[in-house]
Structure 1
């Protein structure tokens, strides 16, 4: 097999644009000052880290290597960490921070709390008050702390993404097993509902059938799709290399299918006797849809937790509440 060309993805485009900015800033620094050895060292660091970033975003991998890299996220996080080091080195290579100070403060404020001593020191710094070497240390420490917080948040979002994928696989296997059992041995997983006062109704409408479980799962998944659409509509734009909304929606659909089966079993077992009566096939199928949508109660906590993790990975201005 020949070498594969690297895929064009959102995170690569963002990293490439910022890498181009790093190289433009390096060129704008002009010739190095022979008396400022520290500045020359920072220039060399910036060039080395920029080369690492270039390698990460242009590296071609085989299919299996690409899958392993996608799961571990090492190439994404390596590219971001090297990019951050290159950006720090470019800032440190300059001979002053007066023009950059507003941008540096804004960037640090995105990831560090108000009472962080490194953020406080940067915000209180007055260019020219200290020797250039001390100013460099203050700026580098604050930027590294801010970028470290961002990088750790990326790692946390990747871990969450992998957990969502593993959960989706488990739910898919469970739903598939239930469907196959219902198809091979109709009635083993009873999907028909009846009581003393109401006739027995089944999803297929003609007694227990092998497709009953599948039909209930499909309708439960349809109900879950409705809640997934709501999730998509209220989702804020993501600046993180890991996008969770697709995996969240997948879990909702798979969980909705499973809960629809469990809910119909509960109706058939008489758990809701006196509260819910199912008198027709249409009512039974409607309950499958409602039960599938009911997974929203369970996944709401997951959505809230995911939002919190993603807000740390890609800090955005808080949305103002409508007046």
Structure 2
């Protein structure tokens, strides 16, 4: 006798079989676990492997110093724990909310924490070897006249000219560890600012898409509400009602009823499609200024998508302004082709508005590189 699931008494219920299949390493599950840029994810994994080897070697060297052996071992334990947490974040299969690249940022935060702990446990010679990278990171995220940047440079100079082999003082070690840690936190904040910018632009883009769809649907339902029609005078007292998809001649000035009879439900839809196509061409033309980014957040793509619904809306709004006589001499288009042509122009003109968003997007990307990326900034150690 079959059970309620359709299988026999010795057969596993079909729902359980589906769950068992899904829990195995199927392509669906594997792709879910690989959300985000795969190359950057593997780069973080490789960095974790490097740090594990460096940490083991540093722990062996620190154990030779009996005075610092216990303290170094404590830091090493915490650093290994941070690397384990980074590996766990990269797996991220069990995360309740998965964002495309959030796990990369979490893993990098744990890696940064492990590196900061290694500064505390490293020997003086190891600190000297790490100083160039530490100074580069500090210079990248602190202004040239920032006292923390100046102090770090002074410590580096003293260690380079330490003829008496006095080594690194405890206060200097603490300062370097905290300053480098703060610089890494600033880098994470700059990266999170990029993610926030992408989220805001995507939200606005979705809102504009919904607005454009709403306008198209409402114009199909209430086609006579605000018709996109013009009424040019032909000759001899004859007038013409010209709409985006239909035109008709009348004797004498057309009445509101005659304009409503000429308007069609698809008028706004046609104009919005033309506006989207024009905006798509503007997006393609804007590619010449895109330099790309190594961040896991695709700023150029969201900026290009923003132009599409904006073009759909500016095409319709521009024609309404012309119909209302906002542009002198252009309030009486006399053919459907002219209406479509102006819709193309207004759809492309969305670039006048979205260029400010493009500039802001580039500024947000440039800010990730830190104050030292600005022209004229020079480090005190130069």
Taking structure 2 as the reference length, what is the TM-score of the superposition? Answer: 0.74
Shift of 1:175: 0.7
Shift of 1:28: 4.0
Number of equivalences? 315
* Structure 1 vs Structure 2 CA RMSD: 2.7
Runs of at least 5 residues in structure 2 that lack an aligned partner in the other structure: 1-18, 24-28, 248-261, 376-382
Deviations 1:150-194 (A, max 9, x none): 111122222222211221121111111111112223232312233
Look up the SS of the partner of 1:31 in the other structure: helix
Shift of 1:130: 5.4
CA distance in 2, matches of 1:268, 1:23: 70
1:203 pairs with 223, 234, 244, which one?
244
Deviations 1:113-152 (A, max 9, x none): 1122222211111225653423321221221121111111
Counterpart residue number, 1:33: 62
Q: Which of the two has higher C-alpha Rg?
A: 2
Counterpart residue number, 2:36: 9
CA distance in 2, matches of 1:260, 1:30: 66
Look up the SS of the partner of 1:118 in the other structure: helix
CA distance in 2, matches of 1:13, 1:26: 20
* Off by >6 Å, runs of 4+ in structure 1: none
Contact 2:62 2:123 in 1 (8 A): no
How is 1:206-225 mapped onto 2 (pairs within 5 angstroms)? Answer: 206=247, 207-225=262-280
1:136 pairs with 173, 189, 194, which one?
173
1:299 pairs with 330, 345, 354, which one?
354
Deviations 1:33-71 (A, max 9, x none): 232233323322221111111011112147xx3xx3318
CA distance in 2, matches of 1:234, 1:13: 29
Taking structure 1 as the reference length, what is the TM-score of the superposition? Answer: 0.87
CA distance in 2, matches of 1:99, 1:33: 16
How is 1:1-323 mapped onto 2 (pairs within 5 angstroms)? Answer: 1=19, 2-3=22-23, 4-5=29-30, 6-7=33-34, 9-10=36-37, 11-29=40-58, 31-34=60-63, 35=66, 36=68, 37-61=70-94, 65=96, 68-70=97-99, 75-96=103-124, 97-125=127-155, 126-127=158-159, 128=162, 131-196=168-233, 199-206=240-247, 207-275=262-330, 278-314=333-369
Runs of at least 5 residues in structure 1 that lack an aligned partner in the other structure: none
